[in-house]
Amino acid sequence: MSTVEIPLMSREEDAREAKPAPEDSKLKAKLKLKGLQAWRFTVASGALAGILILLVNIITLGVVYGQSELVNNSLALSPGSCARARGASLGAHVIINILSTILLAYSNFSMQCLSSPTRKEIDMAHSKRHWLHIGVPSIRNVFFVSRKKAALWIILGVSSFPLHMIWNSTVFETKASYDYIAATVTEDFFNGGSIEIPLRQSASDGKHDEYSESDYMDVLSALQKQAMNNKLEKLTVEDCISKYKTNMLSDRRHVLLVPDSSSKRDHFHHIRSKPRNTVLTVYNNANPLRNPALGPLYQWMCDEGPSEYGDKDCRISARNKLTPGSQGSNAGMFGIAKVSIQTCYSQSEEEQCKIEIVPVFMFVIIACNVIKILAFIGALYLTKQDTPLCTTGDAIQSFIKTPDRYTRGRCLAAKEDYEKLLTDSREWDPRPPGVGDIWTGGRYLWRKSSHDWHWAIYIVITSGLLAAFVAIATTALTDGGSIGTSVKQIIGDPRSQDIVWNNLSISVLTGFLLANLPQMLVSYIYLALNNLLTCMLAMAEWCSYATKSGSPVKGLRVSSPQPSTAQRSTYFLSLPYRWAVPTTAIVALLHWLVSQMFFFARVDVYGITTEPPGESFPVERVYISYIAVVVVICLGYFMLFILMSISVWRRYPDNMPLSGCCSASIAASCHPSRVYDDHDDQEDDDDDASNREIDANADSIASQKLCWGVVEPPNPAINGNVGHATFSATETIPLVRDKLYA
């Protein structure tokens, strides 16, 4: 029967990947002398990467401690432009997610090595009718390996928990926002005219006002001096609306409004102030972050107030027309409103944005960093003491040299025959001579490498998480006037309309934990994705040994290859780098996007009379970036689509049972001959597997190029019409449908 070549694990590509470059031969020789060949080199690389990352963390914390003091549980760098602070924050989170993903990948790799069983542990499990995983990440194996390896596995897993969740919480941006007054003044104001605060028209105009008239007089007097010295920026009405129609004012402050020429003084004869007063109206505008009961900061410009604060834009008659005061102001108003404005004079301010670091979280990350380094070194030590079977080739070599006594006569047993969830597999029952299984053939989808319930759990959790993000994005993009503003939002930029839980007052630590909870789900998605991919590719490697022309195809890929043989070694276990690197990169990008999707930020609100670095009103909130939500949704569904496409479009060959990844089914496929098995049944049935007689050719067979196929065709006269298939270094033939094999 024909075998369909699998591009991923094709023999030519696999041989090329395993073939060392000439210039690397000396290095590999040195590594072998130190016991760091194959996957051990990768674990050692993880320890080295951990040391370098630890140095980065310690140096960063030391530099920041040397430049600032601890205030509100955080260390602040010197303030500056918001664009620079935002860029630094985004860059820091990019680096954090790259480094944390690297550590997570190395941890996952080392955990797989620690959970890989030794031959002794496999024999013990088989004697109790249990199977173990080979070449794939496994929680099941942890219950069967040594206590030291299990403890180290748990330590690595627990220390991975804070990586993305807490590390992303160490850096955040603090933004300054200014309260301000908008004052309608006459031309005489710019010539040193008299200043007096107009009377309020109703008691409600001062409902939220916390300043005295002398405070307003001080601000207006300072503005008059700046205006007379030409230190205020002249704005058109359109520019004035554009720059002040925001709930977070970081680069401007007070603004003077000059009426147009059609507004005569007699329009304001009913204002009860001195006749020569140049101040017609004063609007006090306080940031609503300080008090959720306040309307928007730009309420003084609105023709009609928003029905829900922060969700809909206020109405303004035209871009180039401003008649303020229809809805008063959100914190206090003096004088008469609805005066048509011709020009604005704006007071510019330097931006006071800064980056802050939470040292408590940095100490946690450094501690986890140290734990991981020690765990990587411990993994190297424990696996050197008792070598585990980490790859499919390791298991094949072991079972060829020392056949497993508990799986005889079942060369067609597949992985799913042993992996029963609710019942005990009958494949463990002794089988008398002359009994076999019928080969039915069939090309199975790649998804068959894992249980259906594995796929179901992964798809449900991933789809549910993405559906929740879709609901969030849909709510934002369909809520009144939020479509345009949400699309224009910059990733990582805190805006008042994007606050999550606006009425919830939170601390720095609480805010970070709430913002980074989704990181845990993304970490699960990565680990589950890695598990499913590894199972599919490990099974593809297993099936690549299936006989095609009858000639041996390639040597085994093992942890410790014998010199001058066909055996090979690679630095990966079952997930080739051409798959592992892109997957890890995409997951790192996903982690970064999630860190910007929900993020913590602090806003320092300065009152109308306070100048930085004076006392401010800090507001700490969790924000959402809808642009990041949309990108996360697209990337998440793309990953899910690619994974599902691979699992349902690719098929395994039809001339080899899907026995990979399972110790019992691999062992059943490696028995050298039925004659040997039957003899062993009669004479040594009660001996320990490790003490059985080893076939004289087993060592040489395992070191040669191998293929899996029929070595004893069904023949009524010789074997009762029950054939046998196994690994062989000589010619084999494909399985025949509807024939018996054992």
Q: Tell me the per-residue pLDDT of 416-437, one tens digit each, with 9 for 90 and over.
A: 888 876 557 788 888 887 788 9
Taking Cα atoms as reference points, which of 196, 63, 49, 195 lies closest to residue 110? 49
Distance CA 359, CA 170 (A): 7
Mean model confidence pLDDT for the chain: 81
Both structure tokens of 241? 């609306």
pLDDT band at 201 (very low <50, low <70, confident <90, very high): low
Distance CA 568, CA 48 (A): 25
pLDDT of residue 702: 86
Q: How far is CA 538 from the centre of its chain?
A: 24
Q: Tell me the per-residue pLDDT of 97-129, one tens digit each, with 9 for 90 and over.
A: 999 999 999 999 999 999 999 999 999 999 999
pLDDT of residue 638: 92
pLDDT of residue 719: 66
Amino acid identity of 683?
E
Average pLDDT value for residue range 580-584: 90
Q: Of 178-192, 279-293, 468-482, give the lowest mean pLDDT range.
A: 468-482
Q: Tell me the per-residue pLDDT of 319-361, one tens digit each, with 9 for 90 and over.
A: 778 888 888 888 888 888 888 889 999 999 888 889 989 899 9
- Asked if pLDDT for residue 202 goes beyond 80, the answer is no
pLDDT band at 612 (very low <50, low <70, confident <90, very high): confident
Phi then psi dihedrals of residue 354, to 5 deg: -150, 160
Distance CA 298, CA 83 (A): 23
Distance CA 396, CA 392 (A): 6
pLDDT of residue 10: 40
What contacts 284, CB < 8 A, 6 or more positions away?
179, 181, 209, 211, 216, 329, 331, 332, 333, 608
Both structure tokens of 330? 């959100």
Phi then psi dihedrals of residue 419, to 5 deg: -85, 70
Average pLDDT value for residue range 487-511: 65
pLDDT of residue 697: 66
pLDDT of residue 609: 83
Structure-model confidence comparison of residues 128 and 682, the more confident one: 128
pLDDT of residue 229: 93
Q: Of 487-491, 551-555, 632-636, give the lowest mean pLDDT range.
A: 487-491
Q: Tell me the per-residue pLDDT of 59-75, one tens digit each, with 9 for 90 and over.
A: 999 998 888 888 777 88
pLDDT of residue 373: 96
Instruction: Please state the domain extents for the chain.
Output: 34-115+147-170+358-385, 174-355
pLDDT band at 200 (very low <50, low <70, confident <90, very high): confident
Structure-model confidence comparison of residues 252 and 676, the more confident one: 252
Mean pLDDT: which of 26-30, 275-279, 553-557, 622-626 is highest?
A: 553-557
Average pLDDT value for residue range 69-96: 86
- Asked if pLDDT for residue 135 goes beyond 50, the answer is yes
Q: Tell me the per-residue pLDDT of 3-58, one tens digit each, with 9 for 90 and over.
A: 333 333 343 444 444 444 445 555 455 545 445 667 889 999 999 999 999 999 99
Structure-model confidence comparison of residues 554 and 483, the more confident one: 554
pLDDT of residue 7: 37
Q: How many beta carbons lie within 10 A of that of residue 326, not counting itself?
A: 18
What contacts 141, CB < 8 A, 6 or more positions away?
115, 116, 117, 132, 133
Q: Tell me the per-residue pLDDT of 393-417, one tens digit each, with 9 for 90 and over.
A: 999 999 999 999 999 889 999 998 8
Q: Which SS3 state, helix, strand or coil, does residue 155 take? A: helix
pLDDT of residue 52: 97
The β-bridge relationship of strands 252-259 and 180-185 is parallel
CB 414 within 8 A of CB 659: yes
Q: How many beta carbons lie within 10 A of that of residue 486, not counting itself?
A: 21
pLDDT of residue 58: 95
The pTM for the full model equals 0.80
Q: Tell me the per-residue pLDDT of 211-257, one tens digit each, with 9 for 90 and over.
A: 888 889 999 999 999 999 999 999 999 999 989 988 888 899 999 99
Instruction: Please give the share of the chain, as a percent, with pLDDT higher than 70.
Output: 81
